[in-house]
A and B are shown apart, each in its own frame.
Chain A
Amino acid sequence: MMEFSRRRLLQTGGLVGTALVTGGLAGTAFSRIAAAADDPLYAAARKEGALTLYWGSYEQQTMEAIRDAFKAKYPGIEVNLLRQASQTVYTRLRMELQSGVHECDSLGTTNLLHYTELKKIGALAPFEPVDGVHIPDAFRNLDPDKMYHVGAISLTSINYAPGKVQSPPQSWQALLEDQWQGKITTGSPAFSGDVANWVVAIRRKYGDDFLRAFGKQKPKVGQSNVDTVTDILAGERVVGSGAPFSYTLTQKAAGNPIDVVAPSDDAILNLGVTGILAKAPHPNAARLFTNFLYSTEVSMILQKNYWPTLRKDVPWAEGRSLDQLKWTRNTGDDLGPEVAEGIAKWKELVR
């Protein structure tokens, strides 16, 4: 299936420009390896022989698929994947840096602030992935100094139980209707970065009044935004707010009675970010991996796992795309304090 779709994609001709450098997109596995072997970056990476990823973006299953694809494409490089929650990964990395330990080559977490902070202390190395040209325009050149790049796109939306809800709320505002009282489940901004991001966006849009009204709806507050799916599948609640778009679709695809609504007043988009460590023990392997992220292979894996792809030319699962959605993203230099304020307001107004 994958081979087929790749060929089809090749035929569409959207990829021609990049084949020159990576040479990674020829049809068969054999020619792929052969072509990859000519790549000087691969040669350098192979000399390093290993790659250590500290990744919090994407769940275990997707991340392992990406790793395995990388290993298949670039044999001879041992890949050590440490997949833990983003904040854990970041905390560990900071401690390692303080102790002068340099294990990590490539960091991938769901919080842009991690990278602005790491950049400030000179812990990141600049790199411009050649395949970065395929990244959707809105997320290209995240950092003018090329210290970090988009690693994942995650959408926060509304999910619901189709069997129990005839017409699901179509917007964040609609969640405040009386009919949803006692029916909503959500994550906690204190535990989940995505939910915190949602709180910031909602406050920017509607102010604290929204939180106040939301609190009156008596939502069940779990930890992670994934808990919304759990509650809906279990039947504990029927509508999820601040819910994970991709994960809900995965569960739907698995056969579970659940679906998403992209709210008309904007899905909240959060960027997962990735960067290469300045003192990475395997800098070339890290570069190779970063470039690989923007390959068609990876985007196909993302598509298969219901994640937004990282390439303009690879559509999302079920034919969705960024263009079809109304979305917004929290930007600004002062996001840190704003998140803290959002959490404080949440605690005051919601519970």
Chain B
Amino acid sequence: MGVISTDSPDSAAAATARPAMARVPLARTLVFGAVALLLFLLVVLPFGWVLNNSVHDDLTGAWTLGNYARIFQSADLLEPLFNSLLLAVATAVIAVGIGVPLAWLVSRTDLPFRRTIRVLTLTAFVTPSFIGATGWILLAAPNSGWLNALWRSLAGTEAGPLLNIYSMTGAIFICGIYTVPYSFTMVSSALDEMAVELEDAAATLGSGTLRTMLSITIPLVTPAVIASFILSFIQGLTLFGVPAFLLTPTGIPVVTTKLAEFYQLFPPEIFLAAAYCMPLLLVTAMLFWMRRRILGRKQFVTISGKSRAGRRIALGAARWPAFGAALLLPLVSVFLPYAALLLVSLTRAWGQGLSWENLSLYWYWWALFGNSETHTAIVNSLLFSTLAATLCVMLGTVVAYIVERRMVFGASLFGAVATVPIIIPGIVMSVGFFAAYTRAPLNLYGTPLLLVAAFAATFLPIAYAHGGSILKGIGPELERAARSLGAGEGRTFLSITIPLMGGGLLSGWFLVFIPIIRELSVAVFLITPKTNVMTTLIYNAKDGGNYEAVCAMSVLLLLITLALVAAAGPLTRLTTVRRTSRKTGRKSAPAEGVLPT
């Protein structure tokens, strides 16, 4: 309907013409095919089995909806669901409430000892939460807890316990502090990439530091905040160790402890357990739907090639008080519980209490040399975790990229698929993997590959969510610029997107590596004598009540992981994108408009 239109170009050209090279290139087909295939193998197939299990009867194996009916008809099965939801929401609130300000302090301000805080937070991350719970039982059990003993020595022996770790509050506290590292890492890597000008803009409008943080900085990293909220929520839903240790003694059932009971029954109610996970899936799906609603309307593209990284917000007089506050998390999640664990691990017999005679490195000797399986288990743990984390981050990043850039029709389906595994508690997923890979043509049972696949699949959602939140911060025009200069999709991804994701990718790798190395339950039906891992041994020691060994092995696991993280330090600096040239300092910012016309 143009008022003036130009002459139509040769009208002879067929209206259905197709550009000569517009057919889908082979490489693209291969990549998408590989991603789809991997998602199918890692998620759809095992999850399909879980789904299939959930509609079969444990006794007869016949098709039934009875499992679902049982869940919704029995108060005994509904109560744990509500308790789990409470635990999950509270965990997520704590994780975000602490993790986000902490991330801001470390990433954006001139907080002293930032790197130390970062490492300490990672240390909390390395700690399997059941180990953390064990440490806190030593500290805050109502009668014997050391902190309570200290309290009584101050307040008199008649005083009631100051803390009771065996309570919902206690479980929330433990789940919360050991989930903070998720929100911290995700949000801080988003903040690391954010342009300073956006904060400067607010500052020039007279907004104070705190105000700027609350109303500009944090909202700008909303995608990461929401992603970490959801992940923390899922953690709260799916953790087993903490509620098993802290809530069982007070008779508060949650979904995971209930699941453990299903497996403990004779005969085990595996199929009921599968069905019992589905409400969790539903709740989490709702969370993701809400996330779409929240993020859908806003644009959160923050890197646009103009960022002036490197400058930090001066906290001024608040610098040291802020440091004190930032130390609180490491204090409760690392120092205190590990002090307890370390003391126990250094006693020959911990029931004797602390004395010089009782002091011994025996359990370390035992963990390293006395136990013939430890060597294999340590090597296996490191090897499988490395392979699985690498596979996981690669796949998660590519899926996140496909979804974020909507590269194919139905891309969001890829994302949905990549999100499923984390919601299914490990032991149930373990059964799914078992069912999927013990039959032809994909009989991988007994191979390390199966463990690697299961680990990668379980934590794929983290890699995917993390990748997505980094990508949300990278303006698509940075990639489009490369495309228009002749770089194909693959080349653009490798030479523009990946370097821009930079340090975020490495932190993403640790974000999955660490939970993998401490993961137990998904491995439970998949490990074999030859593919045993550290956590199985630790759990066996715990199962056998050998607390000194548990503590010693936990401390070792922590040290190994920390050594890795430390070794990765230089790597981080290498991979983190260099944004300033060494030769020319920023001081010599040149005058504008050099060009005469």
A113 contacts across to B, CB distance below 8 A: 266
27 chain-A/chain-B pairs, Cβ below 8 angstroms: A61-B371, A64-B372, A82-B529, A87-B264, A87-B266, A88-B524, A91-B525, A94-B267, A95-B434, A95-B435, A100-B438, A111-B266, A190-B261, A222-B248, A223-B244, A223-B248, A224-B543, A234-B144, A236-B144, A247-B545, A254-B349, A256-B351, A256-B352, A257-B352, A339-B266, A340-B265, A347-B76
In the complex, chain A residues whose CB is within 8 Å of the CB of B348: 254-255
Chain A residue, CB-CB nearest to B540:
A60
With A95-B435, A95-B525 known as contacts, the answer to whether A60 contacts B266 (CB < 8 A) is no
A68 at the A/B interface (Cβ < 8 Å)?
yes
Closest Cβ of chain B to A62, distance in Å, is: 9
Interface flag for A96 (CB, 8 Å): yes
Shortest distance between the CB of A110 and any CB in chain B (Å):
11
Of A101, A111, A254, chain B has the most CB atoms within 10 Å of the CB of A254
8 Å CB interface, A66-118 against B? 68, 80-85, 87-88, 90-92, 94-96, 99-101, 103, 111, 113-114, 117
Q: Does A43 touch B at the CB level, under 8 Å?
A: no
Interface string of B513-545 (1 = CB under 8 A from A): 000000000001101111000001100110111
In the assembled complex, the CB of B61 is this many whole angstroms from the nearest CB of chain A, namely 9
- CB–CB A221/B352 < 8 A: no
Distance between A223 CB and nearest chain B CB, rounded to angstroms: 6
Chain B residue at minimum C-beta to C-beta distance from A232: B351
The answer to whether B144 touches A61 (Cβ under 8 A) is: no
Complex interface: stretch among B134-142, B291-299, B577-585? B134-142
Q: What residues of B have a CB within 8 angstroms of the CB of A258 in the complex?
A: 351
CB of B33, distance to nearest CB on chain A (Å): 28
How many chain B residues touch A (Cβ–Cβ < 8 Å)? 54
Given A234-B138, A235-B144, the answer on whether A251 and B261 have CB atoms closer than 8 Å is no
A236 near B529: Cβ-Cβ < 8 Å: no
Q: Across the two chains, which residue of chain A brings its CB closest to B527?
A: A82
**In the bound complex, how far is the Cα of B431 from the Cα of A256, in angstroms?**
39
A60 to B553, CA, bound (A): 14
Does chain B have a CB within 8 A of A277?
no
Inter-chain contact B529/A60, CB cutoff 8 Å: no
8 other contacts beyond A87-B263, A95-B431, with CB at 8 A cut-off? Answer: A80-B528, A90-B268, A95-B270, A95-B435, A99-B435, A191-B261, A236-B142, A247-B544
Enumerate A282-341 residues with CB–CB distance to B below 8 Å.
Answer: 336, 339-340
Given contacts A95-B438, A191-B260, A256-B349, A221 and B251 within 8 Å (CB-CB): yes
Q: How large is the interface on A (under 10, 10 to 19, 20 to 34, 35 or more residues)?
A: 35 or more
Is residue A278 within 8 Å, beta carbon to beta carbon, of the partner chain? no
B464 interface residue per 8 A CB criterion? no
- Cβ A222 vs Cβ B249 within 8 A: yes
Q: Most chain-A Cβ atoms within 10 A of its Cβ — which of B141, B431, B435, B528?
A: B141
From residue A335, how far is it (CB to closest CB) to chain B in Å? 9
B443 shortest CB reach to chain A, Å:
8
Cα–Cα distance between A236 and B407 once the two chains are bound (Å) = 58
Which residues on the B side are within 8 Å of A241 (C-beta)?
none
Q: Is the CB of A91 within 8 A of B545?
A: no
The residue of chain A having its C-beta at the shortest distance from the C-beta of B436 within the complex is: A99
> Which one of A92, A190, A257, A336 lies within 8 Å of B264 (CB-CB)?
A190
Evaluate whether A60 and B544 lie within 8 angstroms (CB atoms) in the complex, with A111-B266, A339-B266 already known.
Answer: yes
